């Protein structure tokens, strides 16, 4: 074929087809450019997409294409549309509703402009009009053609197309026969073809640009009339003619040879009939004499063609031969009755065998898929499991870092705090119910860009594809609060959550060696920190000091070094910041300099006792609301009454139970209830 690339066939109208099209049926996509808008007409198949895309981009950027016209639903017209969409194109699909019903199955995402709902026309911003002409059943119920009123070019879809094994962009002298061969194969009947051609004859057409074959730019009316009068289709009933009066077997064999020369080329046809006992005018391709009895030449011609050129040559010419056989009342050559029938039977057999194999393969693929799903999904929650998650995280982060992507994913690890207690009290089935409920709750809360996985034990992973640290923590808090306040569980359930973002790893250059392992380990460490902070907590930092500030500062006023050491160690291990005062005056100095969240005091202290410290605090608005706890060996009716009078709600006798003390501390500082 020609090596033509982009060709301007009319002012600002371009042929943008692909190269190297084989098989006798080339495809012709067109691009119409009108000021700031462009219309792509029948963009083509996946086979020539790269060529068509390159050609289009050499004329306009993709964002300039506002419309794509699909004249009907065949893959050679439509299959490349999703590929244009994937490249970022944003356009409307112009087609008939009957076509839209089918083309959506190519996976097209764009919006539709249905011609039947818009008066069968499109007016571009410049005022330029595209008229859409119904061509029903040629060869699809929703088929249309497009007429550009400014250039008077008719984009005719399959109409005026042709078989051509030696393609040229513009129609030559032999194109009429090629065009007839194509329509005899694909168009249903003259009854359907004729009215459309008569409508075309009423238009002022400067050029016909078909989707297959060559562009017709001369003698347009001749081609329209040829199709108007063409008998075609499986049910055609041509006018009977007398074979002998018309010229006998020489005539119909000459017609076949001329048709072959139009479809292929003269040299190949001469080679195909070489050896036959006939005399041929090599210019006109008319048989002048032959040496066969009766109608034997009619048989020998096709036997020679089959032997030298193969089955494809018979298939291409079969509708035309069938038409001649009916028109001149001569039997179809035996080779069509035997070879084509055998080919059809073999194709049917292979089709059935193929169908059976497809059914077997479908069942096998279904079984394999089922087994694979079982291997990668949690049987309790239906979520992808730990092994799948680790592989996904590794692949995802390696790709992001290799591409130097600015994307900032976050990883949240959730672990159920009370799972051991639930398992001991209610059994494994209740644990599974809790896990299913949590999976459902998180799924309902998360956005589409968040993936949820079930890990080992009673843990889950949430992978946020692109976010910020604050947004990830905010989502984690929503999850934590939703679970903690839920009534779906057999008793109160909470989760501890560790959160980490990829930007944290980037900032510390800690992702160079196995980024997925590093990110996962940080998240797990933060889950442990969250549990150490009393559970039902979101930890988004590995720095203990940060959480000491967040959890709160506690002042211990005590003289007994053993008590100081026990309390200080216990609270610091839970990430509270602890200050120590060993007498009342030192305590008041600290309280003037530091804002405290809670005070734990002995009553019996040097210089100023615990009750007097409390009175002093009550006198100042900035300290009167600091929670004040007494821990003392001295606890009798008088001291309890005095403590109550000073608004001290919690009075512990030494030795104190640390778990009881911790519950009160949390309640006072964080407002948590237990």
Q: Is residue 373 part of a domain?
A: no
What the block records as the tokens of 634 is 């001295």
Mean residue pLDDT of the chain comes to: 84
Neighbours of 294 (CB within 10 A): 8
| Element counts in the chain: helices (H) and strands (E) | 26, 24
Q: Is residue 349 part of a domain?
A: no
Q: Based on the fold, state whether residues 265 and 333 are members of the same structural domain.
A: yes
Domain endpoint, select from 341, 370, 400: 341
What the block records as the tokens of 458 is 């009673």
- Is the pLDDT higher at 637 or at 181? 637
CATH of the domain at 83: 3.60.15.10
Q: Is residue 351 part of a domain?
A: no
In sequence order, what are the beta bridge partners of 450?
464
Q: Based on the fold, state whether residues 222 and 193 are members of the same structural domain.
A: yes
Domain endpoint, select from 542, 575, 609: 542
DSSP string, 605-643: -SSS-HHHHHHHHHTSTTTTTS-EEEEES---HHHHHHH
How far are the Cα atoms of 312, 469, 482 from residue 453, in angstroms, in the given order? 55, 20, 18
Domain endpoint, select from 228, 259, 291: 228
Q: Is residue 658 part of a domain?
A: yes
In sequence order, what are the beta bridge partners of 30?
15, 41
In this predicted structure, what is the pLDDT of residue 2?
41
What is the span of the domain harbouring residue 253? Answer: 243-341
CATH of the domain at 571: 3.40.50.2300
Task: Give yes or no for a contact between 106 and 76, defined as CB atoms under 8 angstroms apart.
Answer: no
Mind listing the pLDDT tens digit for each residue in 148-174?
999 999 999 989 988 766 788 898 888
Q: Based on the fold, state whether residues 204 and 303 are members of the same structural domain.
A: no
Q: Based on the fold, state whether residues 94 and 163 are members of the same structural domain.
A: yes
Q: Based on the fold, state whether residues 116 and 256 are members of the same structural domain.
A: no
Task: Give yes or no for a contact between 208 and 216, defined as CB atoms under 8 angstroms apart.
Answer: yes
Q: Based on the fold, state whether residues 526 and 551 are members of the same structural domain.
A: no
Q: Based on the fold, state whether residues 502 and 621 are members of the same structural domain.
A: no
CA atoms within 13 A on the CB side of 391: 6
- Is the pLDDT higher at 397 or at 155? 155
Q: Is residue 355 part of a domain?
A: no
Residue 547 predicted with pLDDT over 50: no
Question: Cα separation of 516 and 389, whole Å?
Answer: 10
Residue 497 dihedral angles phi and psi, to the nearest 5°: -130, 130
Residue 655 predicted with pLDDT over 90: no
Q: Which strand (E) or helix (H) includes residue 554?
A: strand 553-557
CATH of the domain at 488: 3.30.70.270
Q: Is residue 445 part of a domain?
A: yes
Question: Cα separation of 496 and 526, whole Å?
Answer: 9
CA atoms within 13 A on the CB side of 457: 12
In this predicted structure, what is the pLDDT of residue 176?
85
Q: Based on the fold, state whether residues 312 and 337 are members of the same structural domain.
A: yes
Mind listing the pLDDT tens digit for each residue in 448-478?
889 999 998 899 999 999 899 999 999 999 9
In this predicted structure, what is the pLDDT of residue 582?
93
Q: Based on the fold, state whether residues 283 and 159 are members of the same structural domain.
A: no
Ranges 51-65, 254-268, 509-523: which has the least confidence: 509-523
In this predicted structure, what is the pLDDT of residue 141?
82
- Is the pLDDT higher at 18 or at 381? 381
Model confidence at 588, pLDDT cuts 50, 70, 90, reads very high
Q: Based on the fold, state whether residues 306 and 200 are members of the same structural domain.
A: no
Query: Any idea which residue has 């008077």 for tokens?
Result: 152
Centroid of chain to Cα 200: 41
In this predicted structure, what is the pLDDT of residue 319?
79
Q: Based on the fold, state whether residues 418 and 528 are members of the same structural domain.
A: yes
Question: Cα separation of 76 and 186, whole Å?
Answer: 15
Q: Is residue 352 part of a domain?
A: no
Q: Is residue 358 part of a domain?
A: no
Q: Based on the fold, state whether residues 155 and 168 are members of the same structural domain.
A: yes
Mind listing the pLDDT tens digit for each residue in 6-19?
899 999 999 998 76
Task: Give yes or no for a contact between 196 and 135, defined as CB atoms under 8 angstroms apart.
Answer: yes
The total of structural domains in the chain comes to 4
């Amino acid at each position: 074929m020609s090596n033509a690339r982009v060709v301007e066939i009319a002012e600002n109208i371009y042929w943008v087809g692909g190269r190297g099209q084989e098989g006798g049926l080339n495809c012709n996509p067109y691009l119409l450019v009108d000021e700031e808008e462009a219309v792509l007409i029948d963009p083509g198949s996946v086979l020539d997409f790269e060529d068509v895309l390159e050609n289009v981009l050499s004329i306009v950027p993709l964002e300039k294409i506002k419309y794509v016209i699909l004249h009907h639903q065949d893959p050679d017209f439509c299959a490349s549309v999703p590929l244009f969409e994937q490249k970022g194109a944003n356009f409307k699909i112009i087609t008939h509703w009957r076509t839209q019903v089918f083309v959506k199955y190519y996976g097209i995402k764009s919006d539709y402009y249905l011609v039947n709902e818009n008066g069968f026309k499109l007016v571009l911003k410049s005022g330029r009009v595209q008229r859409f002409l119904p061509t029903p059943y040629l060869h699809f119920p929703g088929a249309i053609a497009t007429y550009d009123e400014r250039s008077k070019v008719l984009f005719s879809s399959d109409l005026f197309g042709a078989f051509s094994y030696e393609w040229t962009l513009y129609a030559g002298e032999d194109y009429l026969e090629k065009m007839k061969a194509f329509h005899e194969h694909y168009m249903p009947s003259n009854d359907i073809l004729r009215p459309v051609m008569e409508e075309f004859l009423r238009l002022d057409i400067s050029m016909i640009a078909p989707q297959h074959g060559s562009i017709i730019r001369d003698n347009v009316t001749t081609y329209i009339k040829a199709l108007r009068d063409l008998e075609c289709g499986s049910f055609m009933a041509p006018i009977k003619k007398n074979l002998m009066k018309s010229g006998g077997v020489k005539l119909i064999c000459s017609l076949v040879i001329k048709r072959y020369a139009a479809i292929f080329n003269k040299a190949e046809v001469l080679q195909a009939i070489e050896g036959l006992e006939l005399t041929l005018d090599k210019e006109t391709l008319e048989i002048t004499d032959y040496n066969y009895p009766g109608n034997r030449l009619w048989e020998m011609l096709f036997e020679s063609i089959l032997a030298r050129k193969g089955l494809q040559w018979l298939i291409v010419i079969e509708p035309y031969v069938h038409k001649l056989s009916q028109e001149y009342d001569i039997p179809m050559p035996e080779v069509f009755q035997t070879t084509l029938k055998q080919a059809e039977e073999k194709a049917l057999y292979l089709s059935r065998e193929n169908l059976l194999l497809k059914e077997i393969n479908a069942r096998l693929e279904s079984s394999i898929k089922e087994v694979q799903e079982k291997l990668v999904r949690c049987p309790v929650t239906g979520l992808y499991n730990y092994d799948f998650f680790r592989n996904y995280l590794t692949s995802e982060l390696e790709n992001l870092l290799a591409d130097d992507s600015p994307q900032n994913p976050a990883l949240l690890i959730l672990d159920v705090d009370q799972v051991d207690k639930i398992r001991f009290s209610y059994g494994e089935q209740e644990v599974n119910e809790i896990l299913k409920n949590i999976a459902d709750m998180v799924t309902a809360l998360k956005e589409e860009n968040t993936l949820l996985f079930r890990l080992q034990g009673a843990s889950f992973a949430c992978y946020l594809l692109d976010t910020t640290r604050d947004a990830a923590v905010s989502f984690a808090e929503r999850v934590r609060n939703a679970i903690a306040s839920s009534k779906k569980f057999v008793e109160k359930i909470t989760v501890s959550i560790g959160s980490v973002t990829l930007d944290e790893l980037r900032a510390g250059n800690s992702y160079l060696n196995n980024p997925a392992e590093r990110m996962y380990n940080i998240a797990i460490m933060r889950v442990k920190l969250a549990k150490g902070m009393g559970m039902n907590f979101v930890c988004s930092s590995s720095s203990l000091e940060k959480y000491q500030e967040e959890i709160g500062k506690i002042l211990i006023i005590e003289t007994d070094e053993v008590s100081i050491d026990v309390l200080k160690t216990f609270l610091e291990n839970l990430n509270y910041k602890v200050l120590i005062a060993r007498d009342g005056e030192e305590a008041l100095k600290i309280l003037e300099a530091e804002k405290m969240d809670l005070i734990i005091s002995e009553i019996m202290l040097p210089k100023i006792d615990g009750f007097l410290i409390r009175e002093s605090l009550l006198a100042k608005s900035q300290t009167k609301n600091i929670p004040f706890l007494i821990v003392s060996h001295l606890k009798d009716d008088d001291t309890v009454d005095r403590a109550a009078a000073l608004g001290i709600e919690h009075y512990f006798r030494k030795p104190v139970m640390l778990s009881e003390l911790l519950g009160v501390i949390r309640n006072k500082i964080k407002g948590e209830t237990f």
